[in-house]
A and B are shown apart, each in its own frame.
Chain A
Amino acid sequence: MPEKKQVNKSKKRVDARAKVTGKAKFGADLKFHNMLYGQVVRTEYPHAKIININKSKAEEYPGVEVVMTAEDIPNNLFGVIIENQQVLAEDRVLYIGDGVAMLAARSKKAAREAAKLIEVEYEELPGVYGVEEARQADSPVVMPGEENNQVIHHPLRKGDVSEGLTEADIVMERKYTTQFVEHAYIEPEAVTVVPEERNTLVTVYGAVQNPNATRDAVANVLDCDLSKVRIIQDNMGGSFGGKDENISAMACRAAVMALATNKPVQLVNSREESIIESYKRHPYTMNYKIGAKDDGELVAMEIEAVADSGAYACQTPFVTWRSVVQATGPYEVPNVKTDTYGFYTNSPYTGAMRGYGSPPVIFAQESMMDELAAELDLTPAEIRRKNMFKNNSRTASNQKLDNHEVSLTEVMDKALSAIDYHDKYEKYNQPQDSTIKRGIGFAISYRGVSLGAEAIDAAGAIVSVQKDGSIILYSGLAENGQGLKTVFSQIAAEELGVSLERITHMETDTSVSPESGSTVASRSTLVGGSAVKKAAENIKTVIAEFVAEEYDYSGKIIYRDDALYTKEGERIVAFPELAATAFHNGVFLSSYGWYKAPGISWDEETGQGRPYFTYVYGCQAAEVEVDTGTGEVKVVNMSAAHDVGKAINPANVRGQIYGGAVMALGHALMEDLGFSKGFIKHTNFDEYLIPTVKDAPENIEAIIVENPDPAGPYGAKSIGEPAMELGGAAINNAIAQATGRRLRDLPLNLERVLLGRNLSKED
């Protein structure tokens, strides 16, 4: 293999300059002639009947152009999986973020002031808070038209779990819970909708994570053709899975008002509006029953994982599906019975967030492995080595892991040695004199890459060589801050042997870019990157024919240093000259590339099959210092080893690992929305605490492990979500070692760490 010039290199991000110089435009930066400012009026109660809405005072307010309610919306329901999310509440509000009315005015001030004049009469209804209540037979039904509160149930059955438990020498049962988590992207949601622009009905600009999903929602709500709705993505100030359905709702609202006024309408959330309205990470309640032999061999697992879906179905069916696949962790277990559920409640709706359905189950299952090890007098490393997947292992779904390297031993060895785990583990097991005690813990995982059996898994890209040799790249998957444009540009540059500067990666534009599904599931590099590679390869096929004709060379062409060479290393032609000559000879050097992921299968009744076509493996370790007198926890060191197949951009991979580790730290230690019967108390970052740079570990050793995967471009797989799903369990295990007390509920705040239980004003 010749040495790679562009991929597997830490190239500078292609969007870095614009972002650090402030030239990059974000959703709220856009201005259009005659643009109106929208404002949404939200419910005062988490669950209530709307008796009456009086909008007359608001309509009379100077500068107000339109005031609307649900009855003005052509089709009020949308949703990626189940269409039951209200653009505006019709007769019943289901959670504290539901909008009941909206208006557009000529100034922000007028919009804000007029919104206060909309009079809404409610009849407050008792709400359902928490899945325990939601699953009771006599619970009030949250979702109109449903018979009960269950959104989804995914069963998985392998072997015979009762028999397995009988064979076990030890059976342990534990309950774990995780909390609602806010995405906390630095840029609150922003969209602008321009009516009747350039042959469309509406054009939507903004912080749109998944342009095609938002297009579906807007076209559905306006009851128009997809071709009449154009979504153009702006730069994103973070997303983490969080700018999907909430942005779609905003785009629908702005679109309806834009068409009613025939003027552009902009909607921008304040931080408080964002936290109150946006969907959260699902809180989980998990019961794990594990049976093992005295030597640590796992014989059975019985798992129930219940997710709070909040007011809407949103992504719950798929989030809980990932949970059912991964709930047993990366271990060979002959007998498994797993049930995952989602239930409607009157809490904020929950959806996609970095990690999707895996962080809660990994927190439970990797905490439990440590508990089991302690019970059997084994070390955490011993019990994992005894049971973890190797090449050709069979998963809980009975999938044979035989098409890629199962690298758990490698990631575990590398992560543990980087943090000097074994010595520290022995040391911290000895009595510690100080009230400030250290502990070290780790977790391992396997993660299905891309969508799996959730949906069709294919993506496209356009690579278009201009006559001067510059290249325009369109991708159906979107840059959400993760570095997609850089990675895709590197792949195109590698294939065509050109410098990165020749490539301009355009914004995703639904009227140009091939529809590629959503930018989710850490799928972009593998699925989207393969599409870019395919497009470049198509162009090279055309070039080869043209070179044979024009330059009389029909051997293998080497593309490097902005030129074409013979396999003997003789220069054929410079790339720009080739592009010009081809153009003037009528040769078309542009191509769509399309990639469809390898086949998968899934049996809904038994949870057996091939849920994902490949997996990634990771290990993260955390060393903590716990003040046993105050409950304060400081994560002093972390190490993280992730098998990414092949790192297209190693610096970017390390960045994902650092960010993922710190994000997991926040979820584990501090993030808390301050819920009180459906109300959110912590609506800004003074109270909703996320880690500051001072809370980040002094050192995070990021280790890239590369076992190229046959499915990925150059062997590349994924890193975005794998990097954040492990940290919580690792930190929990470290705290348990430091304090000698096992905690099972997140977040591990001052009270839980000091007292072993949470305190709340409610109790």
Chain B
Amino acid sequence: MKKDISFYHCEELDAALKLLAEDNNLKPIAGGTDLMVEMRNDENFQENISGLLDITALEELQGITVKENHINIGALVTHQEIVNSEVLQEKYSALVAAAAAIGSTQIRNRGTIGGNVCNAAACADTLGPLIAFEADALLESYAGERVVPAADLVTRPYQTVIRDDELLKCFRLPLPAADTFSNFQKIGRRQALAITRISLALVAQIADGMVKQVKVVPGSTTPVPEPFAGVEARIRDRKIADLKPAEIAAAASEEMVSITGERWSTPYKKPALETLVTRALVQLKEVADNE
């Protein structure tokens, strides 16, 4: 028989962190769109935890706030709030596109960016754009706060560096430079409620017809979304007019195979990833041409 577990609801961050410090077997729950499914599917889920901690009332984890040099996105911000945010639409369109592509209306209304990242599925759509925008994760525990780059947050599928006594408070995204191009694409097996087959987040800072800085983060291609350094090197500090999308795309698929090896899905993922990389770069060139 399934073990009974406790359900805690905290109104204040301190109280929540204190609970987490005292009981290292509590599982935070926010939107529950992943967790509830896992609880139903995993016979032993309740065996392995002492209780659930409802964090939805914690103010410090809520809202999108614009600071002088960065923007904070609270862990409890829902995908729909991201989609609706004018400031995010203006400055982080790839993140907005990723949030808009998640699940369904119902999932986007409940699911949070914090949950999407903390669940740490290889197909989590928002992590790629967060890495590409060089976001930091602010983790808080009763003992104090620490900052971890989004790129270092997930160590392997369904595993993060977040300790049992910590909560993800928010993501801190540096304000992008004025001429920043960003692109997010996703392939699924249907138009909604589809687990991502492949996604791509590409963020490039443009100046004087050159790419000054670039991040290329494919999703669902590697165990954990990670920047493709080899591809980035072929784009960074180059003249945009000289970029050859097809060649760079081919390098991206090679880089994917160098990380994962040849798998059953590789014959599909190689050309499909090449398509996404090519399209992102063609769009980058068009945008640069128009400026």
* Residues B190 and A691 in contact, CB atoms below 8 Å apart: yes
Distance in Å: Cβ of B267 to nearest Cβ of chain A = 6
Residues of chain B with a CB closer than 8 A to A691's CB: 190
Residue pairs across A and B with Cβ atoms less than 8 A apart, 14 shown, are: A109-B1, A435-B275, A627-B275, A632-B187, A670-B190, A691-B190, A692-B104, A692-B190, A692-B192, A692-B193, A693-B192, A695-B192, A751-B267, A759-B264
Residues of chain B with a CB closer than 8 A to A693's CB: 192
Shortest Cβ distance from B276 into A: residue: A630
Distance in Å: Cβ of A688 to nearest Cβ of chain B = 11
C-alpha gap A34/B190 in the complex (Å): 45
**Given contacts A109-B1, A759-B264, A760-B264, A629 and B191 within 8 Å (CB-CB):** no
| Partner of B268 from A669, A759, A763 at Cβ < 8 Å | A759
* Residues B272 and A631 in contact, CB atoms below 8 Å apart: yes
Residues of chain A with a CB closer than 8 A to B195's CB: 686
Mark each residue of chain A from 694 to 732: 1 if its CB lies under 8 Å from any CB of chain B, else 0: 110000000000000000000000000000000000000
| Partner of B197 from A435, A750, A761 at Cβ < 8 Å | A750
C-alpha gap A629/B267 in the complex (Å): 13
* Residues B187 and A630 in contact, CB atoms below 8 Å apart: yes
* Interface check B279, CB cutoff 8 A: yes
| Partner of A755 from B194, B267, B276 at Cβ < 8 Å | B267
* Residues A761 and B264 in contact, CB atoms below 8 Å apart: yes
* Residues B37 and A750 in contact, CB atoms below 8 Å apart: no
* Interface check A50, CB cutoff 8 A: no
Q: Tell me the B3-42 residues at the A interface (CB within 8 Å).
A: 37
Mark each residue of chain A from 737 to 763: 1 if its CB lies under 8 Å from any CB of chain B, else 0: 000000000000111001100011101
In this complex, the member of B195, B265, B272, B274 whose beta carbon has the largest number of chain A beta carbons within 10 angstroms is: B272
Residues of chain B with a CB closer than 8 A to A759's CB: 264-265, 267-268
C-alpha gap A686/B271 in the complex (Å): 26
- Extra inter-chain contacts (13) besides given A692-B104, A750-B272, A754-B268, CB under 8 Å: A630-B272, A631-B268, A631-B272, A689-B194, A692-B192, A695-B190, A695-B192, A750-B187, A754-B271, A755-B271, A759-B265, A759-B268, A763-B264
Mark each residue of chain A from 21 to 43: 1 if its CB lies under 8 Å from any CB of chain B, else 0: 00000000000000000000000
User: How many residues of B sit at the interface, in one of the four size bands?
Assistant: 20 to 34
Mark each residue of chain A from 427 to 468: 1 if its CB lies under 8 Å from any CB of chain B, else 0: 000000001000000000000000000000000000000000
C-alpha gap A691/B192 in the complex (Å): 9
* Interface check B278, CB cutoff 8 A: yes
Residues of chain A with a CB closer than 8 A to B274's CB: 629
| Partner of A629 from B193, B197, B264, B278 at Cβ < 8 Å | B278
C-alpha gap A670/B194 in the complex (Å): 11
* Residues B190 and A629 in contact, CB atoms below 8 Å apart: no
Distance in Å: Cβ of B163 to nearest Cβ of chain A = 30
Mark each residue of chain B from 197 to 219: 1 if its CB lies under 8 Å from any CB of chain A, else 0: 10000000000000000000000
* Interface check A113, CB cutoff 8 A: yes
Residues of chain B with a CB closer than 8 A to A631's CB: 187, 268, 272
Mark each residue of chain B from 178 to 200: 1 if its CB lies under 8 Å from any CB of chain A, else 0: 00000000010111111101000
* Interface check A634, CB cutoff 8 A: yes
Shortest Cβ distance from B43 into A: residue: A116
* Residues A692 and B275 in contact, CB atoms below 8 Å apart: no
* Residues B192 and A630 in contact, CB atoms below 8 Å apart: no
**Given contacts A755-B267, A759-B264, A750 and B189 within 8 Å (CB-CB):** yes
* Residues B189 and A689 in contact, CB atoms below 8 Å apart: yes
* Residues B1 and A113 in contact, CB atoms below 8 Å apart: yes
C-alpha gap A751/B270 in the complex (Å): 11
How many CB-defined contacts (below 8 Å) exist between A and B?
Answer: 62
C-alpha gap A634/B272 in the complex (Å): 17
Shortest Cβ distance from B263 into A: residue: A761
C-alpha gap A686/B194 in the complex (Å): 8
Residues of chain B with a CB closer than 8 A to A763's CB: 264
Q: Tell me the B93-147 residues at the A interface (CB within 8 Å).
A: 104
Residues of chain A with a CB closer than 8 A to B197's CB: 750
C-alpha gap A398/B278 in the complex (Å): 57
* Residues A634 and B268 in contact, CB atoms below 8 Å apart: no
C-alpha gap A113/B3 in the complex (Å): 12
In this complex, the member of B189, B267, B278, B279 whose beta carbon has the largest number of chain A beta carbons within 10 angstroms is: B189
| Partner of A749 from B189, B192, B267, B275 at Cβ < 8 Å | B189
Residues of chain B with a CB closer than 8 A to A695's CB: 190-192
Residues of chain A with a CB closer than 8 A to B276's CB: 630
C-alpha gap A763/B267 in the complex (Å): 12
Q: Tell me the B245-291 residues at the A interface (CB within 8 Å).
A: 264-265, 267-268, 271-272, 274-276, 278-279
* Residues A754 and B264 in contact, CB atoms below 8 Å apart: no
Distance in Å: Cβ of B180 to nearest Cβ of chain A = 25
Rank and list the top 4 A-B pairs by shortest CB-CB distance, nearest first.
A629-B275, A694-B191, A692-B192, A694-B192
Residues of chain B with a CB closer than 8 A to A749's CB: 189
Mark each residue of chain A from 627 to 639: 1 if its CB lies under 8 Å from any CB of chain B, else 0: 1011110100000
C-alpha gap A692/B272 in the complex (Å): 23
Shortest Cβ distance from A757 into B: residue: B267
Shortest Cβ distance from A763 into B: residue: B264
Distance in Å: Cβ of B31 to nearest Cβ of chain A = 16
C-alpha gap A751/B37 in the complex (Å): 28
Residues of chain A with a CB closer than 8 A to B275's CB: 435, 627, 629-630
C-alpha gap A435/B271 in the complex (Å): 13
C-alpha gap A627/B275 in the complex (Å): 10
C-alpha gap A224/B268 in the complex (Å): 58
C-alpha gap A670/B192 in the complex (Å): 13
C-alpha gap A691/B193 in the complex (Å): 10
Shortest Cβ distance from A685 into B: residue: B193
Distance in Å: Cβ of B78 to nearest Cβ of chain A = 20
* Residues B265 and A634 in contact, CB atoms below 8 Å apart: no
Residues of chain B with a CB closer than 8 A to A632's CB: 187
**Given contacts A631-B268, A759-B267, A759-B268, A692 and B191 within 8 Å (CB-CB):** yes
Distance in Å: Cβ of A39 to nearest Cβ of chain B = 14
Shortest Cβ distance from A758 into B: residue: B268
Distance in Å: Cβ of B288 to nearest Cβ of chain A = 21
C-alpha gap A751/B266 in the complex (Å): 11
Residues of chain A with a CB closer than 8 A to B268's CB: 631, 750-751, 754-755, 759
Residues of chain A with a CB closer than 8 A to B187's CB: 630-632, 750
C-alpha gap A761/B278 in the complex (Å): 28
* Residues B191 and A634 in contact, CB atoms below 8 Å apart: yes
Residues of chain B with a CB closer than 8 A to A113's CB: 1
Residues of chain B with a CB closer than 8 A to A754's CB: 268, 271-272
Residues of chain A with a CB closer than 8 A to B278's CB: 629
C-alpha gap A738/B115 in the complex (Å): 40
C-alpha gap A640/B104 in the complex (Å): 29
* Residues A670 and B189 in contact, CB atoms below 8 Å apart: yes
C-alpha gap A629/B268 in the complex (Å): 10
Distance in Å: Cβ of B199 to nearest Cβ of chain A = 11
Q: Tell me the B69-110 residues at the A interface (CB within 8 Å).
A: 104
Distance in Å: Cβ of A502 to nearest Cβ of chain B = 41
C-alpha gap A632/B101 in the complex (Å): 15
C-alpha gap A761/B267 in the complex (Å): 12
Q: Tell me the A663-683 residues at the B interface (CB within 8 Å).
A: 669-670
Distance in Å: Cβ of A186 to nearest Cβ of chain B = 15
Distance in Å: Cβ of B123 to nearest Cβ of chain A = 12
* Residues A689 and B190 in contact, CB atoms below 8 Å apart: yes
Mark each residue of chain B from 30 to 61: 1 if its CB lies under 8 Å from any CB of chain A, else 0: 00000001000000000000000000000000
C-alpha gap A759/B194 in the complex (Å): 18
C-alpha gap A750/B265 in the complex (Å): 11
C-alpha gap A749/B194 in the complex (Å): 13
Mark each residue of chain A from 282 to 298: 1 if its CB lies under 8 Å from any CB of chain B, else 0: 00000000000000000
Distance in Å: Cβ of B277 to nearest Cβ of chain A = 10
Shortest Cβ distance from B271 into A: residue: A754
Residues of chain B with a CB closer than 8 A to A694's CB: 190-192
C-alpha gap A627/B279 in the complex (Å): 12
Residues of chain A with a CB closer than 8 A to B192's CB: 692-695
Residues of chain A with a CB closer than 8 A to B264's CB: 759-761, 763
Distance in Å: Cβ of A275 to nearest Cβ of chain B = 14
Shortest Cβ distance from B275 into A: residue: A629
Shortest Cβ distance from B194 into A: residue: A689
